[in-house]
């Protein structure tokens, strides 16, 4: 699926799917490169490695549960406007 949602991608990556994890790393490469460009040339590679490693740890440790759904939010909003 070309436009897989981030939610299902992360969920697969967390479950140990290597290709999903690769895809996540690819998607966040521009973000990481932004910082890598600020490093001295000789350290750039090390920094990219460290940040990528950090990204992978973050993905693995991320808690997927969302605190509320659409209905909860709409009801909360309606209560707020009605009162």
Of residues 13, 20, 21, 55, which one binds another protein by CB under 8 A?
A: 55
Of residues 12, 14, 25, 47, which one binds another protein by CB under 8 A?
A: 47
Establish if 43 lies at the interface with another protein (CB under 8 A). Answer: yes
17/59 with CB nearer another protein? 59
SS3 65: coil
11 class by beta-carbon count within 10 Å (0-12 exposed, 13-18 middle, 19+ buried): middle
Structure tokens at 64: 């997927």
Of residues 22, 35, 45, 60, which one binds another protein by CB under 8 A?
A: 35
Structure tokens at 20: 């999903």
């Amino acid at each position: 699926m070309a436009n897989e949602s981030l939610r299902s991608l992360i969920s697969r990556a967390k479950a140990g799917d290597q290709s999903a994890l690769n895809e996540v790393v690819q998607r966040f490469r521009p973000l990481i490169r932004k910082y890598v460009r600020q490093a001295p040339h000789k350290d750039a590679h090390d920094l990219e490695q460290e940040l990528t490693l950090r990204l992978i740890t973050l993905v693995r440790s991320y808690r997927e549960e969302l605190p509320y759904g659409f209905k909860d939010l709409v009801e909360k909003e309606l209560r707020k406007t009605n009162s």
